[in-house]
Amino acid sequence: MAPELNRPEIVAELTAMSDRYETALGTNDIAELDTLFYQGPETVRYGVGETLYGFDEIAAFRRNRTGGSPPRDVLRRHITAIGTDTGTVDLEFRRHGGERIGRQSQTWIRTPQGWKIIAAHVSLMADIS
C-alpha cells in the first residue's frame, strides 16, 4: 500500500515550518535553528562546504559561522508530505548579489517536540557562464 501523500493539513504544517526556518536563517537566530533540528546523532547536514554528522556538529558549525548564512531569496519551493509524520521541503534560492542558483533539501519528521529536520543538504549549481 502506497503512503498517503500531501494531506493539505500536513502540507500546511510543513509550509509553516519551512517559513519559520527561513526566518531563523535570515536573522541568524541560532537558538531557533537549533530548535528546528532533531537533536540526535542521526541528524545529518551536508552544506556547500561542510559535512556535518549529528546535532552537536551542526550546532557547533552554526555557532562558529561568522555572520550566519548569506542573505537569499527563495525562488521556488516544493513540499511533499508523506503520511502524517514525515515530509520533504526542497527549494531553489539565489544569494543576494549572486548569480548561481542554490538548492536546499530537508527531511522533516514529527517528534513529541514537534516537527524537526533530520536531514538537510545545501548546494550551489555550477557556474555555467
- Mean of pLDDT over the chain: 95
Evaluate whether residue 103 is within a structural domain: yes
Q: What is the pLDDT, as a whole number, of residue 50? A: 95
Could you tell me the three cell numbers for 111? 517528534
Evaluate whether residue 3 is within a structural domain: no
Evaluate whether residue 96 is within a structural domain: yes
Q: What is the pLDDT, as a whole number, of residue 14? A: 98
**Which CATH number characterizes residue 75's domain?**
3.10.450.50
Could you tell me the three cell numbers for 95? 544569494
Q: What is the pLDDT, as a whole number, of residue 128? A: 66
Q: Inform me whether the pLDDT recorded for 124 exceeds 80.
A: yes
Q: Mean pLDDT over residues 2-11, rounded?
A: 95
Domain that holds residue 17: 8-124
Strand partners, 45: 52, 120
Interval 95-121: pLDDT, tens: 999 999 999 999 999 999 999 999 999
| Terminal C-alpha separation, the chain | 46
Evaluate whether residue 33 is within a structural domain: yes
Interval 50-70: pLDDT, tens: 999 999 999 999 999 888 899
Rounded to whole angstroms, the Cα distance separating 11 from 100 reads 28
3-state SS assignment for residue 105: strand
* Total of domains in the chain: 1
